[in-house]
Amino acid sequence: MAIHEKLRLRENSDQMDWLGLLVCIIIFSASGAVLLLHRRKSSRPKQHPPGPPGWPIIGNMFDLGTVPHRTLTELRQKYGDVLWLKFGAINTMAILSAKAATDFFKNHDSTFAERKVTETMRVHGYDKSSLALAPYGAFWRVLRRLVTVEMLATKRINETASVRRKCVNDMLLWIEQEASGVHVARLVFLSTFNLLGNLMLSRDLLDRESNDGAEFFQAMMGLMEWSGHANLADFFPILRRLDPQGLRRKMERDVGKALEIASKFVKERLEKKDKYITGTSDEKRKDFLDVLLDFEGNGKDEPAKVSEKDLNIFILEIFLAGSETTSSTIEWALTELLTNPESLNKAKAELAQAVGADRTFEEDDIDNLPYLKAVIKETLRLHPPIPFLVPRRAMEDTNFQGYHIPKDTQVLVNAWAIGRDPEVWDEPWSFKPERFLGSTVDYKGQNYELIPFGAGRRMCAGVPLAHRMLHLILGSLLHQFDWELDCKEEIDMNDRMGITVRKAEPLIAVPKRCK
């Protein structure tokens, strides 16, 4: 019950966060206006991309609203495919169309290969050891090779199919035990957290016998919450030492706790490693932690071993990247299907024909389910988990589509807007999985009109695993149960910002065991 309550409280905290941020901005702006009187008024250089005029000091922060991915999408009609904004001291370029995204990733990927790192993600050196955030260079290449070649190669993913099946079976059992309507995202989140625990550490983290697992979960929940909040110290570097919202302090506490527990997991594994090495492959399946511990670099342009600190942060990143994004995508997929009964019936009919009623849905079935795959693609088109992806940063002054982009400019690629680009998509606001039947468009980084996981050299490395998890979870939910809404009122399709974009009102659905 404590875990469920923690999740509920986190959902309600976003409204309070925006109110507090607004108060801080007003106070800071009032004090800054005095200084502004003594400065010479300057205009934005004309060679920058077009964009809305900003307020003194705070720039365009008031222009964003509570759902900035939607707000910037609307600005495209007035200013075009590429938008220039200032958030406090941060120069920002937003990319709002598939055409501009194609130019960006095809012709300028290397120039924007660095990340824009927020203040909260610098605590305990997290950004230096994170694959998603690490500086572009030799160490980043080592991390990416570890993930793509060692951890998430097809052979390795195939070997862990039974682990995913077991965790999804646990989730289905939890659903059966629910007395009434099911908070879909919550149960998927808990299941995914355990799934990643088994893939990374060969253990359930959320069970009655694991105090460390429960503490790790609570610390990770804090990490996800604080990193999803807008931070005034990011927009005004002069405020970093003051930490006006207390986000850095909270992040230091929760990341520190999570790293402490992750370190304990690693030490336990090292103590048992000799036993694992002497066993056969049948006795011990290699998990992701084994892969990290067994890594041997060349000692020249890459480390001979992954350090303990890097190991611990890598463990945190696996959970941060996988659990929230998976649960939000499944929630949106089931929501769209419930509000489009014809699509829901087609998906269930395909499962009934390809899988049948006498066995469970398995990963091997995915390739035989084109409509289910189309449902996942259409969901990711309309609801990319991170609508601006992970922000990029210009490594040097550059020219993009005839505009001057200064060094250190933040780049927001609005995948949410690109998925609704009317120049690419027919009826872009409608949920139509059929658009992907017979289509070669995929989300693996080569089709820039569909980039929920990004593209280019900093594209999400976890796509192969995400592909399996999303189809296995959604397919199992549809194959095992008939679903209906908990109430007959029209479902709320609004969203809210956090570390991912979630439904503003969580989906509560009633499952009935398929006969």
The domain spans of the chain are 68-276+285-513
Separation of alpha carbons 344 and 356, rounded Å: 17
**Nearest alpha-carbon partner for 54 in 79, 96, 31, 88:** 88
- Type of residue found at 146: L
Q: What was the pLDDT predicted at 349?
A: 97
CB 232 within 8 A of CB 21: yes
Alpha-carbon 286 to chain mean position: 26
User: What confidence tens digit (pLDDT) does each residue in 228-267 have?
Assistant: 888 999 999 999 999 999 999 999 999 999 999 999 988 8
β-strand pairing of 410-413 with 90-95: parallel
Q: Is 487 annotated as a binding residue?
A: no
Q: What was the pLDDT predicted at 278?
A: 46
* Contacts (Cβ under 8 Å, ≥6 apart) of 244: 24, 232, 233
Separation of alpha carbons 415 and 69, rounded Å: 9
In eight-state DSSP terms, residue 56 is T
Q: Quick one: average pLDDT of 118-135? A: 94
Q: What was the pLDDT predicted at 360?
A: 92
pLDDT over 70, % of the chain? 86
Q: What was the pLDDT predicted at 281?
A: 46
| Lowest-confidence region among 44-53, 71-80, 220-229, 336-345 | 44-53
- Type of residue found at 195: L
Inform me whether the pLDDT recorded for 496 exceeds 90: no
Q: Which two tokens stand for residue 44?
A: 């934005």
User: What confidence tens digit (pLDDT) does each residue in 73-98 have?
Assistant: 999 999 999 999 999 999 999 999 99
Q: Which two tokens stand for residue 144?
A: 């990416």
Backbone angles phi, psi at 123, to 5 degrees: -65, 145
Q: Record the pTM.
A: 0.89
Q: Supply the mean pLDDT for the chain.
A: 87
What's the pLDDT band for 62 if we cut at 50, 70, 90? confident
**Nearest alpha-carbon partner for 225 in 312, 320, 309:** 320
Inform me whether the pLDDT recorded for 469 exceeds 50: yes
Separation of alpha carbons 221 and 242, rounded Å: 24
Residue with structure tokens 């299941």?
191
Long-range contacts (CB closer than 8 Å, 24 or more residues apart) made by 140-144: 141/302, 142/297, 142/302, 142/303, 142/306, 143/314, 144/461
**Nearest alpha-carbon partner for 394 in 379, 384, 409:** 409
CATH superfamily of 68-276+285-513: Cytochrome P450 (1.10.630.10)
